[in-house]
Amino acid sequence: MSQIALKAGFDDSVHDSQRVFRALLDAMSRPGRIVTPSPPPELPAALHPATAAVCLALLDFETPLWLAGPDIAETRAWLAFHAGCPFVATPEQAAFALVTDVAALPALGDFALGSDEMPERSTTLLLQVGRLVAGQGQRLSGPGIDGTAWLDVDGVTASFWTERAAACALFPRGLDVIFTAGPALAALPRTTQVED
């Protein structure tokens, strides 16, 4: 019988997931704040530590995942085993989309943006980027931000910001984004306004 050399997940799945969820909650409620959730001890080569932590905390059998990026076979097997999430073929069917390389990101309009009655049915985008720096780059304002905050996301193109603004102009429909880079993550909910 053939075997995939699977890597282990969280040591203590319940409490480790809860800690990651708490970190993510901080990031979501304070857009632009960079947090570092504690990652699982082993992770697939294609995932950053923060991405792996978020995946194990958020994904389960009720969250269809759309996965894109280079060399994702190991990631797919690892998530299927530890998270048990179903995989979907198109981004619009997904509750979560995991894009391990910005180059593989489709147009943001391809994701589910929810409906006016059920805006929560939108896709939450997990995007791995090169680097996250707070205090410079894009100017953020909106709920959860006292005045303004700055976040520099290395690797995303100008068209990403235009497409995001277009998607979030449909409020309450829109797209929530979680950026991960190495051990760090920052979140950009649909309510945050972004300017250059």
80 or 156: whose CB is closer to another protein?
80
Tell me the window of 4-12, 20-28, 95-103, 119-127 that interacts with another protein (CB under 8 A): 4-12
| Of the residues 68, 80, 134, 145, which one makes contact with another protein according to CB under 8 A | 80
- Taking CB under 8 A as the rule, does residue 81 contact another protein? yes
Radius of gyration of the chain from Cα atoms?
Answer: 16
82 or 173: whose CB is closer to another protein?
82
Number of Cβ within a 10 Å radius of residue 168? 24
- Taking CB under 8 A as the rule, does residue 62 contact another protein? no
- Taking CB under 8 A as the rule, does residue 61 contact another protein? no
81 or 150: whose CB is closer to another protein?
81
Q: How far is the CB of 5 from another protein (least distance, A)?
A: 6
**Count of residues that interact with another protein, criterion CB under 8 A:** 16
Long-range contacts of 111-117 (CB under 8 A, 24+ apart): 111/167, 111/175, 113/167, 113/170, 113/173, 113/174, 113/175, 114/172, 114/173, 114/174, 115/173, 116/172, 116/173
Token pair listed for 13: 């799945």
| Of the residues 48, 82, 173, 190, which one makes contact with another protein according to CB under 8 A | 82
Q: How far is the CB of 2 from another protein (least distance, A)?
A: 5
Token pair listed for 83: 């998270």
What is the residue type of 9? G
Q: How far is the CB of 71 from another protein (least distance, A)?
A: 17
Q: 6 to 45, contacts with another protein by CB under 8 A? A: 6-9, 11-13
- Taking CB under 8 A as the rule, does residue 1 contact another protein? yes
Chain residues in the site for another protein (CB under 8 A): 1-9, 11-13, 77, 80-82
